[in-house]
Amino acid sequence: NKSPCIKMSGRGKGSSAKKSVSRSAKAGLQFPVGRVARYLKVGKYATRVGAGAPVYMAAVLEYLCAEVLELAGNASRDNKKTRIVPRHIQLAVRNDEELSKLLGEVTIANGGVLPNIHQVLLPKKTGKEKA
C-alpha cells in the first residue's frame, strides 16, 4: 500500500505547491506593485497604506511612462534615430499640452529647448508677391 505521492501533514511544500503570483501580475501591470507599496510605507506619507493604493499608483505611473515613451519614440523616429535620448523626451513633453502642464516646472537634463523664433525677428515679406 505504498503510494508514490505522500501527502505531508502541516505546512510543508507537498506535491501541490502553489507558485506565487506577484501583485503586478494579478493587476496586469509591468510596474512593481510591491515596491510602490514599500515606498509608500517607508516614506511615511500616511500611518497606514491600503491594499488598493499601491496598485492604483503603479498603474498611473505605468500609464504616464508609456505615454511619454510613445511620444518620445515618435520624436526619435521624426529625427531618423533608433534610440531615445533626453532631447526626444524634451520634445515629446513640451509639444504635448497636458504633459507640458504636468511637467511645467521640471528641467530635463540635456533636453535643450523647443525650436522657436519670434515673429518680429523673422525677415520681412516684400509686398510684390501678389498673384
* Alpha carbon distance 106, 114 (integer Å): 14
* Alpha carbon distance 90, 2 (integer Å): 69
Give the pLDDT confidence of 25-49 residue by residue, as tens digits: 999 999 999 999 999 999 999 999 9
pTM of the predicted model as reported, rounded to 2 decimal places: 0.79
C-alpha distances in angstroms, 95 versus 51, 75, 114?
36, 10, 8
Give the pLDDT confidence of 58-85 residue by residue, as tens digits: 999 999 999 999 999 999 999 999 999 9
* Alpha carbon distance 96, 80 (integer Å): 20
